[in-house]
Structure 1
Amino acid sequence: MNAPLPWLAPYRDTPVVGEVLVPGSKSQTNRALILAALGDRPSVLTRPLRSRDTTLMADALVALGATIDRDGMVWTITPAALDHTAAATVDCGLAGTVMRFVPAVAALTSADVTFDGDEHARVRPMATTISALRGLGVAIDDEGRGSLPFVVHGSGTVAGGPLEIDASSSSQFVSALLLAGARFDKGLELQHVGAALPSMPHIEMTVNELRKRGVEVDDSQPDRWVVAPGPIAALDDEIEPDLSNAGVFIAAALVTGGSIRIRNWPEQTDQAGDAWRTIVEAFGARAVRDGADLVFTAGPTLNGVELDLHDVGELTPVVAAMAALADGPSRLTGVAHLRGHETDRLAALVTEINRLGGDAEELEDGIAIRPRPLHAETFKTYDDHRMAHAAVVLGLRVEGLLVENVVTTVKTYPNFAPVWERLITT
């Protein structure tokens, strides 16, 4: 099949002013799906995200025995019995939550479950998942790769108990074990023993989702979580808007000197994307609550920034695009772990910004960006939805910029391109 032609990113020489309701949170949707599939009775999710990543997650759980009735904005999940023995195959695509969360669920079945995914998924770090499950007595055949593809040989039970892991390359390794821990015979006593954990808000989200379903989790000690064994209560829940995906629209307002209203921004949330409220202040903009919404308004200039994005690394590509259009130099640090995301995001951002005539430099744990006049080129996305978001932000101020494979945004945002076009061209 031929690759799609590059997409002409909409250009804007006047302020973007508008409002957006972003789809549901991928992180919350996929955690809720896992816990519903392990629950004690059926659960109903309202407004879940329907995207490639969440479809892959739902399909994976169905392959393991769950039933998911996807009726528009309401999904009903009937838990998996987990006692079937039929071999299954899980397509992970490029979804870290699928390749890292689902193997622990597969270990609770009595089946051989094969995990594989897109070509680039085979180079994403998976050794921690494999070694952690082996440490809990789970048999896994990966032919020594420490990556996809591999086979989980489920025995119908996981003993659980004490376990040490190094999750410094991804918080998903911690979340994966916590989500299934209550179903282990002895629960789970998990200790992280490596360098600082990235993306802590995602672990906090996992713990909160467990507690909402009656699971006892002790996280009173740093880098240590104790999950008590027991049932996971069913929960009918409504998924929040994805605040990370709101970032590209916030950036549109800031780089054009405009204003954007993000509808239904939660007053209290554990989403990493909530950090946009403070990030915009560093750029000289402001965020003001108006009823259920949050309104982001550009300042008189777009300042250069110095930001430690360690806890919210997924926001880095859009922040970097804004920095490339700012009035002064920027340093984005604390994000060395982005080298193991859908692509090596640090190398990719530096390469693509410089391809447009910019001046970006890769640091040990981040990126330094010195703004320069940019020119049109084809911005490569590396099949990474966040890189596509960075590209369209740059396209607002770089007339004629082409985006390679903008359709990769379906990973977390269905119909992103037409939504973006309507906002920018209206």
Structure 2
Amino acid sequence: MSDSTAQIDLWPAPTASGAVDATVTVPGSKSVTNRALVLAAHSTEPGWVRRPLRSRDTVLMADALRTMGVQIDETVNPDGGEAWRIIPAGLHGPATVDVGNAGTVMRFLPPVAALADGVVRFEGDARAYERPLHGVIDALRVLGARVDDEGRGSLPLTVHGAGSLAGGSVDVDASSSSQFVSALLLSGPRFNKGLELRHTGRTLPSVPHIRMTVDMLRIAGAKVDAPQDGGARNVWRVAPSALLGRDLTVEPDLSNAAPFLAAALVTGGRVTVPGWPRRTTQPGDALRGIFTRMGGTYELGERGLTFSGTGTVRGLTADLREVGELTPVIAAVAALADGPSELSGIAHLRLHETDRLAALAKEINVLGGEVTETEDGLRIRPRRLHGGVFHTYEDHRLATAAAVLGLVVDGVEVENVATTAKTLPDFPDLWTAMLAGATPAGRG
């Protein structure tokens, strides 16, 4: 990790003048959008993805599918908001895919490329070359694909698509990323023999994301047997079948709601997120319970989710294995709590956009905090914090965590806040608009 901020803009994180009171419309879910695009590309008829998230990760996914022959037309819903019309075609190469640093693109698309007719090359950002792909690469070879990665188990790599893939049974250690499982399941209906996947590792992070994949496959017409239905533990079966074009409206991204709900908690205010679903597989739904344990309250009704702070922020002991992506903002709130916190089950975060555990410990400590890494998480002892530069390492969730700290700590400067465009476009504008609704201290 470099401390250099040369030629990188520093964003002065705004401090809240009092209790926040705002309604924040959160853009669509990245996880749902990118899964919907892959499933639509595999379908036998056109489909719609309405109110998709437009961010760096989703644009990379759409552009990658276009390079392999999928037609994606962008239009507008009659009632406003974007709508993408996906018209599947014969997948083909030659093509070059830029994955950026998007885990969903680098992992979901090699199985798609194995079904294409031709060669597909995968490249990306420097950090993407350090992120593990071995689970997908090794599995594809077992299932009949030819993949050249020069033994790295990571990018860059080339998939030699043959127009079809045998499929069958495969063992995968997905301990480092649940995306290994989702990547193979999403293309499993197109394999000649379907897919039987067994996770062989000791742990499996982010299980809600796999449940999301299974639910979306079923909506598209696939037959899936999964552990969530009482089936064999750590085994998924997907029957070979045609997928149907669907008309899907994307839910708000609940994980991206985390900093806004945190703002209500740490300022003793109130934030409403419209459109919060009553039932969802998104991991971000766990924020309701987690932030309640940390001192807040919520109501889920027709207006959406309204979360309120109570003026008290409590420490937390929690296993975040299934909701690891929420860790940065939770850690920021914990650094402002009235007692210590211990967050566990998140060793896999060392392999995300950056080593999130090391980065959070280092950057919060630079501001005067006391955060130590454990074998699989963080131990946080609140201390009086002060201003300083918070480095983000091109990680969108570190940037939003820094913004939460800046609400109550004067002088926090966020390096490269533009990295939030990866999944949350216009974050600085959304943040300042929320703060425009802050209630001055002593009022209301």
**Which bracket does the TM-score occupy, shorter chain normalised?**
over 0.9
Task: Name the structure 2 match of 1:91.
Answer: 98
How does 1:71-110 map onto structure 2 within 5 Å? Answer: 71-72=75-76, 73-82=82-91, 84=92, 86-110=93-117
Task: Name the structure 2 match of 1:112.
Answer: 119
Separation (CA, whole Å) in 1 of partners of 2:280 and 2:355: 28
In structure 2, which of residues 154, 161, 171 is the aligned counterpart of residue 154 of structure 1? 161
Separation (CA, whole Å) in 1 of partners of 2:281 and 2:353: 23
With 31-40 and 281-290 compared, the bigger mean Cα shift is at 281-290
| Aligned-residue offset at 1:253 | 0.7
Is 1:171 paired with 2:178?
Answer: yes
How does 1:301-320 map onto structure 2 within 5 Å? Answer: 301-320=312-331
Separation (CA, whole Å) in 2 of partners of 1:290 and 1:146: 46
Contact 1:280 1:287 in 2 (8 A): no
Is 1:265 paired with 2:276?
Answer: yes
Separation (CA, whole Å) in 1 of partners of 2:69 and 2:234: 33
Task: Name the structure 1 match of 2:67.
Answer: 63
Unaligned runs of 5+ in 2: 1-5, 77-81, 438-444
**Aligned letter for 1:182?**
P
**Aligned letter for 1:7?**
W
How does 1:135-154 map onto structure 2 within 5 Å? Answer: 135-154=142-161
After superposition, the C-alpha distances for 1:88-116 in whole angstroms (9 at most, x for unaligned) are: 00000010000000000000011111101
Is 1:297 paired with 2:308?
Answer: yes
| Aligned-residue offset at 1:267 | 0.7
After superposition, the C-alpha distances for 1:253-294 in whole angstroms (9 at most, x for unaligned) are: 101111111111001111000001101111011111231411
Contact 2:20 2:264 in 1 (8 A): yes
**Aligned letter for 2:191?**
F
Q: Percent identity?
A: 56
In structure 1, which of residues 276, 284, 287 is the aligned counterpart of residue 298 of structure 2? 287
Separation (CA, whole Å) in 2 of partners of 1:144 and 1:307: 37
How does 1:7-406 map onto structure 2 within 5 Å? Answer: 7-72=11-76, 73-82=82-91, 84=92, 86-219=93-226, 220-406=231-417
Contact 1:266 1:292 in 2 (8 A): no
Task: Name the structure 1 match of 2:441.
Answer: none
Separation (CA, whole Å) in 1 of partners of 2:315 and 2:133: 36
With 154-163 and 286-295 compared, the bigger mean Cα shift is at 286-295
**Aligned letter for 1:74?**
A
Contact 2:267 2:311 in 1 (8 A): no
Contact 1:10 1:425 in 2 (8 A): no
How many corresponding residue pairs? 423
Separation (CA, whole Å) in 2 of partners of 1:17 and 1:396: 14
| Aligned-residue offset at 1:363 | 0.6
Distance 1:3 1:107, change over 3 A: farther
**Aligned letter for 2:127?**
H
Separation (CA, whole Å) in 2 of partners of 1:393 and 1:194: 35
Give runs of ≥4 in structure 1 deviating > 2 Å.
none
Question: What's the RMSD between the two structures over aligned residues?
Answer: 1.0
Separation (CA, whole Å) in 2 of partners of 1:178 and 1:149: 22
Contact 2:22 2:435 in 1 (8 A): no
| Aligned-residue offset at 1:391 | 0.4
- SS of 2:262's equivalent in the other structure is helix
- SS of 1:322's equivalent in the other structure is helix
Unaligned runs of 5+ in 1: none
- SS of 1:408's equivalent in the other structure is helix
Contact 1:284 1:298 in 2 (8 A): yes
| Aligned-residue offset at 1:295 | 0.6
Contact 1:189 1:225 in 2 (8 A): yes
TM-score by length of 2: 0.94
Contact 2:328 2:356 in 1 (8 A): yes
